[in-house]
């Protein structure tokens, strides 16, 4: 575009350029042999139930190292009751998670569930919670591991570690960033080895402690019990507070749906079982032997117990050798929790990149390991920023972690309610009662409130981080709208484009000389206006297409699909796709005419009709995705029924039309 100095740059904001996207077209596509022969994007079953359990199990079972001290601090002698109740609560969640995993066995956790059963904005809220949860998992695990490392150095005879605890936490995050860059297979193998080592350690600790307890008798347990309050209200409050804090020891359950597509089909319920039963045994068994061997004042004293209560238990039960073993195990398994947070976050980033929420470069992988290196590095950088913004105070992150984790767990009953209401035809099992779901959601809300009442300051940190992430995801998803706002501010601020001001001044001088001709080279030596570049960038973002697969020509269904795309995707290009097999006469008679009517009714969108020769199948759908350069996650399909020929994970995004 040229610049007219007598007026303004002709590339200045023109509403018509944004409100009219151009007329649609009708095209016929015949998938050639190369594309038709392309395999669908099948996800190899990388992990069986044990390996899949190990990835989340290190976080879940390693939680005893930071959960037991926290529960002892609020519940005292009643901690065993609190942890027993807390570890039984996942029995409510397992059938809900199994039903969601059966209906939508795709990676992304509650983000993927809400994306397929609700609006994209609600899914982005879920993504913000998940990312905050994974970052808190990594930071708390790294900080606690660094604290145990300091304890190990102290046991060796040194007064303290050669570096502060926060430096150790940063080094651990950096180390496991490198491990994650080695690829998913190698990371899963590392996680499996870590889990086996941790289970053996905890079994030995519990057995040796039980033997020592048998030799010493029940004197310590009785003293601990009598040291507690015997007022009914105080006892109930102590137990309830312990339940609220004790739920933190079950973190890891929420991570398993994040990589469900990498788990062998049908093994997801076994993964949840493999995680739950050991969590009950280890949490309850460990807190029981702690109360049986360690007086409460010893267990809570920062010099003798405190955060290192389990290593103190090992010292009391077996001596220095067992304490050393427990400390080494704590460092190793908590590092496994760091790995869990990184891998879960990377899977989430990949889903967001494929859905055009994040820039596509997040999905770039290393040529050898196929690890998405940019996603790994950015997540670790975000975790470091989270840790630094708290003043390297792991207690603040841990308190916030409990609220974030419970909020993520509340997303599962919310997702299932929306699944039952919006996608009732979607096949799945088991069929969880609606009253079961509402009770679980109410319980999650009550426990969230309980955690906030224990430490009200946590809600401020949670709100700050959460709102910042939601705004970030909303901005990256609505890139063209954000850029239009920036353009408007630029257009309304003359000082930001002096070329226009100079052009107007020059035009005035020539007008006074009655010389209407202006040498354009005096104004801009061949460079496009900033206005033009911004408009082109906006239009380029808006021209990224999405596809909707249709079978019929029913006008109301077609219009509902247009409304769905307008509400959930930042695009002005929509392609309706119809597979008609080998018989062109089978194309619905009014489909083309109705598409043309809709195209005229929505001038801000270009609405095309693509007629594909061939039967609808995952293979042909993948071939079409490659031909049109549209990701499978942006190819929408009506909700399938129980008799559907293809599995849900083989199709595109489910919409309820």
Residues 49-59 have pLDDT tens digits of 888 888 788 88
Q: Do 446 and 496 have their domain in common?
A: no
Task: Give the pLDDT confidence score for residue 438 in this predicted structure.
Answer: 95
Average pLDDT, the chain: 81
pLDDT band (50, 70, 90) for residue 40: very low
C-alpha distance from residue 439 to each of 221, 415, 416, 436, 446 (Å): 35, 14, 13, 5, 10
Q: Do 272 and 211 have their domain in common?
A: yes
Task: Give the pLDDT confidence score for residue 12 in this predicted structure.
Answer: 44
The mean pLDDT of 334-347, rounded to a whole number, is 83
Task: Give the pLDDT confidence score for residue 519 in this predicted structure.
Answer: 42
pLDDT band (50, 70, 90) for residue 187: low
CA triplet 226, 227, 228: central angle to 5 degrees?
A: 90
- What is the pTM (predicted TM-score) of this model? 0.84
pLDDT band (50, 70, 90) for residue 370: confident
Q: Do 216 and 281 have their domain in common?
A: yes
Q: Which domain holds residue 582?
A: 1-38+478-657
Q: Do 434 and 448 have their domain in common?
A: yes
pLDDT band (50, 70, 90) for residue 514: very low
Q: Which of 4-8, 440-444, 581-585, 625-629 has the lowest mean pLDDT?
A: 4-8
Q: Do 483 and 442 have their domain in common?
A: no
Is residue 193 within 8 Å of residue 324, measured between CB atoms? no
Q: Do 592 and 625 have their domain in common?
A: yes
Task: Give the pLDDT confidence score for residue 36 in this predicted structure.
Answer: 47
- Is residue 628 in some structural domain? yes
Q: Which of 426, 450, 476 is the last residue of a domain?
A: 476
Q: Which of 476, 500, 523 is the last residue of a domain?
A: 476
Task: Give the pLDDT confidence score for residue 656 in this predicted structure.
Answer: 63
Task: Give the pLDDT confidence score for residue 462 in this predicted structure.
Answer: 87
46-50, 51-55, 565-569 — most confident range? 565-569
Half-sphere exposure in the Cβ direction for 549 (13 Å, CA)? 28
pLDDT band (50, 70, 90) for residue 398: confident
- Is residue 392 in some structural domain? yes
Please state, in angstroms and rounded to a whole number, the distance separating the CA atoms of residues 63 and 47: 23
Is residue 176 within 8 Å of residue 342, measured between CB atoms? yes
Ordered alpha helix ranges (H), 513-635:
520-523, 530-542, 555-568, 591-601, 618-628
Q: Which residue has the higher pLDDT, 514 or 252?
A: 252
| Structural domain count of the chain | 2
pLDDT band (50, 70, 90) for residue 137: confident
Question: Per-residue pLDDT for 72 more than 80?
Answer: yes
**Pairs from 539-543 (Cβ < 8 Å, separation ≥ 24):** 539/17, 539/18, 541/479, 541/480, 541/483, 541/570, 542/18, 542/21, 542/480, 542/570, 542/571, 542/572, 542/573, 543/571, 543/572, 543/573
Please state, in angstroms and rounded to a whole number, the distance separating the CA atoms of residues 9 and 17: 15
The mean pLDDT of 407-428, rounded to a whole number, is 89
- Is residue 427 in some structural domain? yes
Q: Do 546 and 450 have their domain in common?
A: no
Q: Do 544 and 602 have their domain in common?
A: yes
Question: What is the percent of the chain with per-residue pLDDT over 70, rounded to a whole number?
Answer: 84
- Is residue 44 in some structural domain? no
């Amino acid at each position: 575009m040229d610049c007219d100095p007598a007026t303004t740059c002709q590339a200045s904001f023109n509403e018509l350029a944004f409100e009219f996207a151009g007329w649609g077209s009708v095209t016929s596509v015949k998938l050639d042999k190369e594309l038709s022969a392309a395999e669908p994007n099948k996800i190899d079953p990388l992990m069986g139930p044990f390996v899949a359990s190990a990835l989340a199990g290190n976080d879940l079972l390693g939680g005893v190292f930071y959960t037991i001290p926290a529960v002892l601090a609020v519940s005292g002698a009643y901690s065993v009751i609190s942890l027993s109740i807390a570890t039984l609560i996942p029995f409510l969640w397992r059938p809900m998670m199994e039903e969601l995993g059966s209906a939508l066995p795709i990676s992304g956790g509650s983000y993927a569930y809400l994306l397929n059963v609700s609006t994209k904005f609600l899914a982005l809220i879920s993504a913000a919670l998940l990312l905050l949860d994974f970052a808190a998992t990594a930071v708390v695990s790294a900080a606690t591991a660094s604290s145990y490392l300091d304890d190990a150095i102290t046991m060796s005879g040194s007064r303290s570690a050669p570096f502060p605890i926060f430096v150790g936490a940063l080094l651990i995050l950096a180390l496991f960033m490198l491990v994650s860059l080695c690829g998913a297979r190698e990371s899963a193998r590392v996680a499996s080895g870590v889990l086996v080592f941790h289970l053996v350690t905890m079994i030995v600790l519990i057995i040796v402690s039980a033997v020592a307890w048998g030799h010493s008798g029940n004197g310590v347990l009785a003293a601990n019990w009598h040291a507690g309050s015997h007022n009914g209200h105080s006892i109930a409050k102590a137990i309830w507070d312990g339940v609220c804090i004790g739920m933190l020891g079950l973190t890891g359950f929420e991570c398993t749906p994040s990589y469900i597509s990498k788990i062998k089909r049908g093994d997801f319920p076994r993964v949840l079982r493999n995680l739950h039963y050991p969590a009950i045994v280890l949490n309850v068994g460990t807190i029981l032997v702690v109360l049986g061997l360690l007086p409460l004042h010893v267990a809570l004293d920062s010099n003798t117990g405190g955060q290192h209560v389990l290593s103190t238990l090992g010292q009391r039960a077996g001596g220095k050798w067992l304490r050393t073993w427990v400390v080494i195990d704590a460092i190793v398994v908590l590092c496994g929790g760091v790995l869990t947070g990184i891998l879960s976050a990377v899977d989430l980033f990949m889903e967001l990149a494929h859905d055009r929420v994040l820039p596509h470069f997040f999905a770039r992988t290393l040529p050898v390991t196929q690890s998405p290196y940019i996603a790994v590095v950015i997540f670790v950088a975000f975790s470091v920023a989270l840790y630094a913004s708290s003043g390297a105070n792991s207690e603040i992150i841990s308190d916030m972690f409990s609220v974030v984790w419970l909020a993520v767990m509340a997303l599962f009953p919310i997702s299932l309610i929306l699944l039952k209401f919006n996608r009732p035809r979607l096949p799945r099992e088991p069929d969880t009662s609606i009253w079961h779901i509402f009770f679980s959601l109410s319980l999650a809300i009550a426990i969230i409130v309980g955690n906030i009442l224990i430490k009200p300051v946590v809600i401020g940190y949670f709100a700050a981080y959460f709102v910042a992430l939601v705004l970030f995801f909303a901005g990256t998803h609505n890139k063209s709208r954000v850029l239009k706002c920036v353009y408007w501010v630029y257009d309304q601020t003359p000082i930001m484009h002096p070329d226009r001001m100079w052009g107007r001044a020059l035009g005035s001088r020539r007008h006074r000389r009655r010389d209407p001709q202006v040498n354009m080279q005096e104004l801009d030596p061949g460079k496009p206006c900033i206005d033009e570049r911004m408009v082109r960038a906006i239009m380029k973002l808006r021209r990224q297409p999405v596809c909707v697969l249709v079978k019929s020509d029913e006008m109301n269904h077609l219009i509902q699909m247009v409304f769905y795309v307008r509400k959930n995707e930042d695009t002005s290009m929509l392609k309706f796709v119809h597979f008609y097999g080998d018989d062109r006469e089978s194309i619905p008679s009014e489909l083309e005419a109705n598409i043309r009517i809709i195209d005229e009714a929505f001038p801000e969108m270009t609405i095309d009709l693509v007629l594909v020769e061939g039967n609808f199948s995952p293979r042909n759908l993948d071939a079409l995705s490659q031909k049109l350069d549209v990701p499978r996650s942006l190819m929408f399909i009506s909700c399938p029924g129980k008799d559907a020929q293809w599995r849900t994970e083989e199709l595109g995004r489910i919409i309820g039309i």
